[in-house]
Structure 1
Amino acid sequence: MAPAAISWYCFTQEEKNDLEHSWSLVEAKKNHIACDIYEMIFNQCPEARRLFPKLKFVGSKPDRKNNEFAFQAMRFMQVIEGAVKALDHLTSLDVILDNLGRRHGKLEVNGKFRSYYWSVFLECSIYCLRHAFSKRMNDKEVDHVIILWRYLLRDVMKKIKAGTTADIAHRLHQMSIDDSRKYSLPAIQHKESNASSAGTDFDDIL
């Protein structure tokens, strides 16, 4: 049975306007915010560094001047920006986020990615966005919009994680099929036939 589709939070038009307005206040600083998010991720979850072997670190902090660091940070920010730009048609992001999640499936199967990283990404994003908003909005306004941002980014992460889960399930299924073929009777008979033709006792190669 296919998993139930994950629904997006239903924002009112006023809430969409508030999200778009808050983004407009910090959009010019999005590169800096992206780097802040990634630096915080690495501080909170140092083991995530192994996902990016090309990144350079100065002590415990990533080298912000490193092109690879800036590139990875901006790729993540593009996902955030894409969500706020698609508030009127969020379902159009489903395929994109699913594919993004599926690209992480291999990393998780290989032990390089952990599912709790998505929670770390979410919390670090919310923290850095709150910090950026606080420079342009009062506390009450920040408290209001950050709730909306949490709804939005929570669903983004859910969509990506669903893609990861689907890819892992597919990979495990393929592995089970490969194992079944490997140990099927025809395969064993073929192996035995080859051993006999080579003049080798079959029992000696098990």
Structure 2
Amino acid sequence: MTFHDVRFPDNISRGARGGPERRTQIVELASGDEERNASWANSRRRYDVSYGIRRADDLDAVVQFFEARNGRLHGFRFKDWGDHKSCKPSAVVTHQDQLLGTGNGTATAFQLVKRYASGAQSWTRSITRPVADSVRLALGGVEQLSGWSVDTTTGVVTFGTAPAAGVTVRAGFEFDVPVRFDSDALDVTLDIERLGSITSIPLVEIRR
């Protein structure tokens, strides 16, 4: 499987529907009680971008994008407008947004992550497709303008010199979701005014 490092058109993705899904097995006992087990350790996102098509040119852009990806064959970037920052969607990214880890004097590589918390519970998501030039880094609360690099195809930050033991590594960033089309066919309908529409254009997150 290959990945095309291009983003689905922003003006269409802005109107998409979708979000995270999880898979849970639920067994109902004879007593009426339940036993629940998580089949997946991590969530996976699904979207339908057909809701973002408003003009004939949007329809053409989707068809061209679909053909260039060979349907389900190649993955690509997708901007989830409801969840594309290390902070809240309405906030501005800062170098203090997310804790990546703590230095030990040896490790130079740290994975970008985003934590989702509610009450005492939280879940950590690995971010593999940060947006170029959006990443900001801090060591011990002090922003670092140099001495590090980030791989925008993996989300791994690498420091030239390992952070000292006990020094916190934090980051802020924007990111895309790696997805692919979840169908090898586009069902296009042309109306009398030739505006056109597609009933459904499903996308699914790629997890590796």
TM-score scaled by length of structure 2: 0.21
Which structure's residues are more often helix, by fraction? Answer: 1
Which structure's residues are more often strand, by fraction? Answer: 2
